[in-house]
Structures are given as structure tokens and as C-alpha cells.
Chain A
Amino acid sequence: MLVSITDLKAGYGGKTVIAFDRLQIARGQHTLLLGPSGSGKTTLLNILAALATPMTGEISIDNVRVDTLSESQRDHFRGQKIGLVMQRLHLISALSVRDNLLLAQRLAGVQANGKCVNAILEKLGIANKFHVYPHQLSQGEAQRVAIARAVLNSPVMILADEPTSALDDANAEAAIALLFAQAEDHGATLVVATHDARIKSRFKSENVIALKGAA
């Protein structure tokens, strides 16, 4: 199992937002978290990304008991094992595309490798944007760079929060295709959270987790 969660309760200020007795994701089992706004998709993703700690529950990711790690250990874990793609927030504004990717390597404690960065940008068709700054990119381009960065350190899991809701149909389709392709390429398991039903067909129906919210 890549992800194994038991007795999870998570929420804010003592109020439970999501609760699972048991949640498991196998390696390669690309999963969709589907639910309306406020149902707790982001809350769960934050826990999977080790960005937030649950109120109760045991979480093991890639055989690491994430809930027992210290905060800085979780930071290192995230940097090395998890790739994140978000709806809007993609890149560090002060850095060029290439430097954004190099930074991701350094923060993960990986030796910065320009060749690797160039290769991935070329593969994603944004090689001509190497030295461009984020504000000069379109939303779609910025997201592609963010996807490139998410797979750069060969994570075990790629978490994407609403990766398509800001995009039109064609771009949404392209983005989800790219996420799948990159996840497969790098041997990572993809977990997407969205209320965007357009992409549901991409996932096997048994891999769609419907969230309704605890309230």
C-alpha cells in the first residue's frame, strides 16, 4: 500500500470536517477525490501532503508513519516524496521558470541538475520558456511548469488540488492527460481532488472517492 489511513478525523478548531475508518491507496492506483465545495477535499489532500496533521488517526505513506514525524521531518518528506499541483498558485514569482525547477530540487535536498530540468521542460513542450518569469506565462503554461516541477524529484505520489477548474474543456483535458502521462512516466501515483465532473471518466470508478462532508 502506498497510502494507508485508519481512524482518521480531521478538521479545524475541534470541528470535524472529514472522517475515515479506513482509506487505502495502492501504488499505481490513480485516485479521484470528488465532492462539492466545502466537502473537505483540500483538507484531506493537505493531510496526504503532510502539510496538516489530523485530529486523530494513523497515516502511513510509502511505509512512513507521517503522523509521528516532526514538522521539519514532514517538510523533508514532502520535498522528496510528494509532488503538489494546485489550482492557481504555481510558481515563485521572483524566479524564472528554470530557476523555479532548480529550486524545487534544492529544497528537496537533491543536487540541482540543470540537464534534468531542461529535459523535463522540453518534454512538456515549454523548453522555449526556460528564462521566462511566471507573470509572462499563461495560466495553462504556468500549470504545465508546475506539473513538470511536481514530477521533477520522482515522487511516489502526485497530489493535485483542482488542477482543471480554472481551465476550459480543451485545456482541462490536456492538463489531466499530462498529469496521467507524467505520473506513469515517473512511477508515481496520482491523487486528484476536484468538484470538476469533467475528468471523472479518466479514473476507474472504483478509484473515485466521493466526499460529502462530515457536517
Chain B
Amino acid sequence: MNAITTAFSLAYAYLRERPLATLLNVILLSLGVGTIIALILILTQAEDRMERDVAGVDLVIGAKGSPLQLILSTVFHVDIPTGNIPMAEAQTIISLPQVRRAIPLALGDSYKTFRIIGTEAQYLDLYDAKIASGKMWEKPLEASIGAEVAKLTRLKIGDKFAGAHGLSESGEAHADHPYQVVGILAPTGTVMDRLVLTSLDSIWLVHAHAEADAKAENARKAETAERTESAEPEQDKEVTAYLIQYATPLAAASFPRMVNASSSMQAAAPAMETARLFSLIGVGVTTLKVFAAIMMLCAALGIFIGLMNTLNDRQADLALLRVLGATRGMVCLTIVAQGFALGLAAVILGVFLGHIGGEWMGQAIAKTHRIPLTGWVWVGEEWLVIGAAMALSVLAALFPAWRAYRDAVPEVLSRA
């Protein structure tokens, strides 16, 4: 124990003697560590988050287009939908025995970038969402809002708000059909926290009027007297998508193919599309990770070269340690301790930087996608990075330590 503290206090003195080289090595290594940790933090949370958001949805049926876009827009609520599908056609498919549960979603409007979703009560069951205060929506134009929506928009029960057409803030407001908040959901840690939920009827009502108004305008301009009814007939009703849970896992083999082949709609599996998404992101992430790993290797090389250089300068110094009663092992230890101390300093700084970087990235993502990611979490994988950085630093010191170990004191002294 005494030998170790002595070795470390010497290592500290030696590192302090060359502050610039020490600083450079620590910064290089900590940047590598920090980059990898920031990536790990964000990716782990994103994956975790997506897994929870998929919430057992086996399949999504929606309009034809990019399957990834369909999943992003209807499961994660980040992209714009591929279009709408006629309810009547979907009905024939969702009534098949392979389907245990089908939840309709109607998208199209938003309030302050929070999406307004027309759906059924069972959508809440997907995420085990509960009403925290107020009640579920019942009548058209009643809405229950997610916890985060409530927090950020400060909407309270009884408040009225107008949805905006489209999913961005710039949409034209449906001012003549304001919604009323009747309930606020408890936080679920899923996408549900960021949604405004209402009945399908509400969506149809708002849009039927909007369309009718638009048609009326056109009609007036064209001077054609044909007037359409203000509400569409039942069989013409449209939704954006159905979230499907299979009755049996076997359905996955043939059901999606059947939908894609035999209908004007498309079926996309969230699990497959998210895997595809991560393999797309993966290329960039891997590049960054490799870059960070190279940075760490360079830092280790820097430690190695630095120690080798000082070895020549300090050969006499190290011999003097032996003269004072230090064993070969002790001399060795002072050099390994330098590698260890550099690694430790870099790891502490790197973990700190990584979490700050993670928080920074998280806030940037949260701003654009409203996905709450943070740097203030601890992920098990970080220990791996820390271990690797420490191992590299100590490894870099081993050869110089062995060189110092080998030196014969009398020869060094006669040269000094």
C-alpha cells in the first residue's frame, strides 16, 4: 500500500513536470471517451424509447408509400403520414381472424406542433396510459391531452384551443371548431405524453367542414350550383392508419404480404422498420465511434511516446530511486502509475464531457423532434468505455515500464 502511494505521488510529480504533454494526452483521450459516451447515451435512450413506443404493435396498415415513413408518422409521430386509407376497405382486412386488435388513427392536425390524434380509447391501453385528471374524451371536439402537452402548453381542463391544419406550427387554424380539454393523462414515458387525443369523429367533423367550406368556395367561383352535403357518408370515411396486434405470432409470416398484395393499402412492421432505421443511422454512428476509437488509440500512442521520451531523460532519476532503496518493481510501478493516472484523469474528464455532450445533443433533438433525450443518465455500457480507456493507458505504459525495469543501475550511474 505504501509502495503504491509512493509510486503514485512520484507519477504525479513526473506528470506535473511536463504539464503540456500531460494536458495534451489527457484532452485527446478524454475527447475520445466523451464522444463515445455521448453517442452511447443518446442511442441507448433512443432505442429504449422507440422500443417502448412500438409497444407491441405488430403491424401498421396505412396508405402506400415508404414503409419507414408510415411507421415514423403513425407509431413514433415524427414524420408526415403517407396519406389516408378508406375505412371501408380496411374493415375487411382488420376483421380477419389473424387480427386480435386494430386501433384506428386519424392524423392531420396539430396544436403548437403537438399532434392531434383521432383514435379510440383502446389506444391508451397500448401504453398503459391512465387519466390523471378529468376524463376520457366522449363527445366530438373533446380532447384528452398527454402529460407533456399539458406541461408545455399550460392547457388545463376546460380550456379551449383550435387545432392547426397540418403538423407544423404554420398550419391554418380551424378556429371555428375549437377543442375542449376534458382530461389530462398521467405521464407514461412514451410518445403518448406528446399527443392530443380525441375521437375519430372530431377529426372528421373538423375536416368535413373545412372541405365543405373549400368546396363551397370553389363552387361559388365556378358558378356551379351543385352543393355537397356537409358530412361525408359513413362508407367514405378515412383514417390514416390502423395499428394491428396479431392474434397469433404466425400471422407475421403471411398477413403483411397478403395486405400488400391484395389491397390498395400497405402493411409495415415497426420492428423491421426500426431495425432498418438503426442500420441506416448505424453507418454514421459507426463512423463516429471508429473516429473516437482512433482518437483514443492516438492518445494511448501519445502516452506511450511521452513515456518513452521521458524515459531517456529520467533514466538517471530512476537509477537514483534504486540507490534510495526502490526495487525494480517499484520503478516499474512509477511508470505504470503515470499511465494509470493519465487514464484516470482522462476518464473523469471524458465521462463529464460525454454527459454534457449527450445533454447537448439530447436538447437539440428534443427541440426539433420533441423526443426527450438527456445526458443525465448512466448507461452500463459506459463502464466498457471506461475500462477500455484505462486498459489502453496502462497498456501504453507497460513497455516503457519494462524498459525502466531492465536498466542496470551501476551502468546508468556511470553514464550520469
Residues of A near B324 (CB, < 8 A) are: 78-79, 103-104, 107-108, 149
User: Is there a chain A Cβ closer than 8 Å to B222's Cβ?
Assistant: no
Tell me how far the C-beta of B69 lies from the nearest C-beta in chain A, rounded to whole angstroms: 63
Q: List 12 A-B contacts (CB under 8 A).
A: A42-B410, A46-B410, A72-B329, A89-B319, A89-B416, A91-B320, A94-B14, A94-B16, A104-B325, A106-B6, A107-B321, A107-B325
Contact B327 A75 (CB under 8 A): yes
Residues of B near A52 (CB, < 8 A) are: 409-410
Most buried by A among B6, B316, B324: B324
| Cα of A92 to Cα of B315 in the assembled complex, Å | 11
Contact B410 A71 (CB under 8 A): no
| Cα of A71 to Cα of B325 in the assembled complex, Å | 11
Known contacts A78-B323, A79-B326, A106-B6: does B413 contact A93 (CB below 8 Å)? Answer: no
Tell me how far the C-beta of B201 lies from the nearest C-beta in chain A, rounded to whole angstroms: 80
* A81: nearest chain-B partner, CB-CB: B325
| Cα of A94 to Cα of B17 in the assembled complex, Å | 6
User: Is there a chain B Cβ closer than 8 Å to A88's Cβ?
Assistant: yes
Label chain B's interface by main secondary structure.
Answer: helix
Query: B residues engaging A (CB < 8 A)?
Result: 2, 6, 10, 13-14, 16-17, 314, 316-317, 319-330, 409-410, 413-414, 416
User: Is there a chain B Cβ closer than 8 Å to A80's Cβ?
Assistant: yes
Which positions 97-129 of chain A face chain B at CB distance < 8 Å? 99, 103-104, 106-109
Contact B317 A75 (CB under 8 A): no
Known contacts A51-B410, A89-B413: does B316 contact A108 (CB below 8 Å)? Answer: no
Contact A75 B416 (CB under 8 A): no
Known contacts A86-B413, A107-B6: does B321 contact A71 (CB below 8 Å)? Answer: no
User: Is there a chain B Cβ closer than 8 Å to A49's Cβ?
Assistant: yes
Residues of B near A109 (CB, < 8 A) are: 2, 325
* A79: nearest chain-B partner, CB-CB: B325
Residues of A near B16 (CB, < 8 A) are: 94
* A161: nearest chain-B partner, CB-CB: B413
In the complex, which of the residues A88, A93, A149 contacts B17, with contact meaning CB atoms closer than 8 Å?
Answer: A93
Contact A106 B2 (CB under 8 A): yes
Which positions 41-62 of chain A face chain B at CB distance < 8 Å? 42-43, 46, 49, 51-52
User: Is there a chain B Cβ closer than 8 Å to A95's Cβ?
Assistant: yes
Besides A79-B326, A89-B320, 16 other A-B contacts (C-beta < 8 A): A42-B410, A46-B410, A51-B322, A79-B324, A86-B323, A88-B416, A91-B320, A92-B320, A92-B321, A94-B13, A94-B317, A95-B10, A95-B13, A107-B6, A107-B325, A107-B330
* A70: nearest chain-B partner, CB-CB: B327
How many residues on the A side are at the interface (Cβ–Cβ under 8 A)? 30
* B412: nearest chain-A partner, CB-CB: A89
Query: A residues engaging B (CB < 8 A)?
Result: 42-43, 46, 49, 51-52, 71-72, 75-76, 78-80, 84, 86, 88-89, 91-95, 99, 103-104, 106-109, 149
Residues of A near B327 (CB, < 8 A) are: 71-72, 75-76
Tell me how far the C-beta of B349 lies from the nearest C-beta in chain A, rounded to whole angstroms: 23
In the complex, which of the residues A43, A80, A88, A89 contacts B325, with contact meaning CB atoms closer than 8 Å?
Answer: A80
Contact A107 B320 (CB under 8 A): no
Tell me how far the C-beta of A208 lies from the nearest C-beta in chain B, rounded to whole angstroms: 23
Most buried by A among B2, B14, B322, B323: B323
Contact A107 B326 (CB under 8 A): yes
* B322: nearest chain-A partner, CB-CB: A75
Tell me how far the C-beta of A1 lies from the nearest C-beta in chain B, rounded to whole angstroms: 23
| Cα of A12 to Cα of B314 in the assembled complex, Å | 24
Most buried by B among A93, A94, A99: A94
Contact B413 A99 (CB under 8 A): no
* B17: nearest chain-A partner, CB-CB: A94
Residues of B near A80 (CB, < 8 A) are: 325
* B16: nearest chain-A partner, CB-CB: A94
* B325: nearest chain-A partner, CB-CB: A79
Known contacts A94-B16, A103-B10: does B325 contact A76 (CB below 8 Å)? Answer: yes
Known contacts A88-B416, A93-B317, A94-B17: does B325 contact A75 (CB below 8 Å)? Answer: yes
Going nearest first, the 3 A-B pairs with the smallest beta carbon separation are A79-B325, A94-B13, A94-B17
Residues of B near A86 (CB, < 8 A) are: 323, 413, 416
| Cα of A42 to Cα of B415 in the assembled complex, Å | 12
| Cα of A107 to Cα of B324 in the assembled complex, Å | 6
Residues of B near A75 (CB, < 8 A) are: 322, 325-328, 330
Contact A99 B13 (CB under 8 A): yes
Contact A72 B328 (CB under 8 A): yes
Contact B6 A103 (CB under 8 A): yes
| Cα of A106 to Cα of B322 in the assembled complex, Å | 13
* A146: nearest chain-B partner, CB-CB: B320
Tell me how far the C-beta of A64 lies from the nearest C-beta in chain B, rounded to whole angstroms: 14
Residues of B near A89 (CB, < 8 A) are: 316, 319-320, 413, 416
| Cα of A95 to Cα of B410 in the assembled complex, Å | 23
Residues of A near B314 (CB, < 8 A) are: 93
Tell me how far the C-beta of A196 lies from the nearest C-beta in chain B, rounded to whole angstroms: 18
| Cα of A62 to Cα of B326 in the assembled complex, Å | 20
